[in-house]
Amino acid sequence: MSSKANYDLTETFEHLVELLDAEKFSELDQFLKQEHPADIADLLEMLDDDHRLKVFESLHLNVAAEVLDEARTDTLQELVEALPDDRLADLLEAMPSDDAAEILSEIAEDQAEAIIALMTPEEANEVEKLLAYEEDTAGRLMATNIVRLVKDWTIAQTLEY
């Protein structure tokens, strides 16, 4: 649906609700695969709590991580409260460390610590480094993943690397 020249969020939302109400989960999966994560985040805003969680839980890990990153604060809070900590840890590991740190900074400190404890040591270390910086500073906002490239590489070589 998002391939239309004039994307209609209301029409997309209505179709999503029809699929949910009819419990057409395989069609729902195909439908969601066609949508951009930012659009899915917008659709989640429009859904009631039960439908929101069903849709979010049906997403594949990497897409769900992108949607979580795009979600507005109130929806993010609802999802964080509804999802088990191990699922949240998996989602945060699937996103860049700066985005994971931002999300963790928006939830209760005890829950954030529990989630960090479930992450791989390497990912947890990266996120903890970022959380050590003051909020809204460059240190907190930076991505820690860097790539060193050879100046003579073509774009294709760089993308492959």
Query: What are 101-157's pLDDT values in tens digits?
Result: 999 998 889 999 999 999 999 999 999 998 887 665 555 455 555 667 788 888 887
Q: What is the pLDDT of residue 136?
A: 58
Distance of alpha carbon 13 from alpha carbon 46, whole angstroms? 8
Query: What are 33-78's pLDDT values in tens digits?
Result: 999 999 999 999 999 988 999 999 999 999 999 999 999 988 998 9
| pTM over 0.85, yes/no | no
SS3 137: coil
Query: What are 147-158's pLDDT values in tens digits?
Result: 677 888 888 877
